[in-house]
A and B are shown apart, each in its own frame.
Chain A
Amino acid sequence: MTRFEDQRTTVYKVDPEHPEDATLPTLRTEELLLNMGPQHPSTHGVLKVILELEGERLVKSTPVMGFLHRGVEKLAEEGTYHQFIPHTDRLDYVCAMYNNFAYCRAVEKLMNITVPDRAEYLRTIVAEIQRIIGHQFWLGTQALDIGAMTVFFYCFRDREILLDWFDELCGARLTTSWYRIGGVERDFTPSLFAKLKQFLDYFPPKIDEYVIFLEKNRIWLARTKGVAVISAEDALSFGLSGPTLRGSGVDYDLRKYEPYSAYPKCEFSIPVGKNGDTYDRYWIRVQELYESVKIIRQCLEQIQDGPIMADVPSVTLPPKERVFTNLESMIQQFKLFSQGFNAPPGEIYCGTEAHKGELGFYIVSTGGGKPYRLKIRAPSFIHMGAFDHMSKGYMIADAVTIFGTYDIVMGECDR
């Protein structure tokens, strides 16, 4: 009998020329298919991944998406530009403000509207608060997925303060719809300013607290360092953005590359990683928390009194108090909501640096009050495209880490 040795495991195979000699049982090895999700707690929503395993190693992973597909892009074609703002809340439901921001910026580019200074500062402040919330949420859930439960409670404790702040600002904690085309819905009250300043003093020591739990934690280091490594070239080719791309050493951040809103007037730095692994992406997000605090502080110092809405009556909404007292304003509001404004024919793409990555809107207009086509460039969706590439060769337990490292939210991924 001849013995053939497989390179992976010792397998006895039958010699085809002398099959009668086979006395040992033939062992069979094959790849195991494992369905992970859609009801797995670590998939952050409803995502299914078909994992092909060889032992405990991932050979190939195929994401199956669309469980949360609601046809948002189709819905956009049926409503006016204003009516789409609440739909954007439901894209990335963890960070609604940034979606509103990205959408309003895109429509402002289409309509060529300049937003007044004060509104730009208010927008920047709220966007950075949303970034803090997003990163806290990410840090808490990522640590929880990996097995560190305490960080989750600490992050969510502080996140709650900001969500209450949002509640006071616009009456909603998650689905906010506070941004408007051409400005914002309402100004901050003095109480909001006071609470925000209080938070800025309270928060930086708390970031140090989160980090203490993780930076010397052997389990955290073992499970994040060197996991899901992607080179800068591949990351660009896959279209990754945000901290996922910056972890690989590319300093692509739209806040610096194509400055918008009040960002050019603030001084802040873009943290960039070296190794392109999960740990670097974690480190970047923590550093961005400090940077966000810095940006908000500068905005609070620089902000001046002024209007919070651009004065373009054919496009922007009139102030609420005028709608209740003035006939023309009421007619204007009614017409804007029932017919929409008349957009010029053309097409634009406008990307905004959300905390997950580049959130962009591609709008095609043929004139009239409704977008002809609206495409959402959702970072979560594009990041999932690199999942197979990034998970190859890692252990099955790392699949959870790799989901987490993108900061994926399925509402945005499936749209």
Chain B
Amino acid sequence: MNQLAQRIEETFPGASTKVTEWRGDVAVTVKREALHDIGKFLRDDPAMRFDYIVHVSSVDWPDDEERFEVVYEVYSIRTRQRIRLKTRVPESDCIVDSLTDIWKGADFMEREVYDMMGIRFRNHPDLRRILMPDEYEEGYPLRKDFPLRGKGWRDTFEFLDEPAR
């Protein structure tokens, strides 16, 4: 088992549900209740100091019971390691604790996740759409059930009759 994952497991017993290491990338899936504490631990622990936030992302798995996956990737400048923290949320209750108070950059990145995937973040200072218009109501574009060609908006137009020749 990876050292980092082991440290997380030791400090938060039972919080991590899955650890994968593939192509050199370490990913730890944690329970969403523990996400905020683990994030704080990763940043503040003197041996690790994950002080640099790389990206916040999300993946949609429509067939799973816990449909959405929120992905935080952080980097430690001092130890030159990176780790991917993941957590799963069900569609009926898709809300996660915001990590904005730990890494300030999470603000915009979480807003993007909310905009694109519809996952809400508890205690986020300004959770609004960021890339789509504020009044956009046709859903969340990166969900798998959102079709590539839009969601019906074009179909609301009536076709004109063919002009007589």
Contacts and interface: CB of A to CB of B under 8 A. Distances in A.
Interface of A: 65-66, 69, 71, 73-75, 78, 109-110, 112, 233-234, 236-240, 250, 252, 257-258, 346-349, 351, 358, 360, 362, 364, 372-373, 375, 377, 381-382, 384-386, 389, 414-415
B164 interface: no
A78 B148 contact: yes
Given A349-B25, A364-B59, A375-B57, A257 B80 contact: yes
A382 to B, nearest CB: 6
The binding surface of chain A is classed by DSSP as mixed
A349 B54 CA distance: 10
A385 B109 CA distance: 8
A358 B77 contact: no
Contacts of B131: 65-66, 69, 414-415
Interface centre among A65, A69, A257, A347 (most CB of B within 10 A): A347
Given A237-B105, A349-B54, 7 more contacts: A66-B129, A237-B103, A239-B53, A239-B105, A347-B22, A373-B57, A385-B107
Interface residues of B, number: 35
Contacts of B146: 74
A362 B57 contact: yes
Contacts of B41: none
A236 B22 contact: no
Q: Lowest 5 A-B CB distances belong to which pairs?
A: A239-B105, A385-B108, A66-B131, A377-B55, A375-B57
The binding surface of chain B is classed by DSSP as mixed
B162 to A, nearest CB: 31
B96 interface: no
A233 B132 CA distance: 31
20 contacts: A65-B131, A66-B131, A71-B141, A74-B146, A75-B148, A236-B51, A236-B77, A238-B105, A257-B80, A347-B25, A349-B54, A349-B73, A358-B54, A364-B59, A375-B55, A385-B107, A386-B104, A386-B105, A414-B131, A415-B131
Contacts of A240: 105
B46 interface: no
Nearest to A415: B131
A110 B23 contact: yes
B133 A66 contact: yes
Given A74-B142, A347-B25, A373-B60, A362 B55 contact: yes
Interface in B14-59: 22-23, 25, 27, 51-55, 57, 59
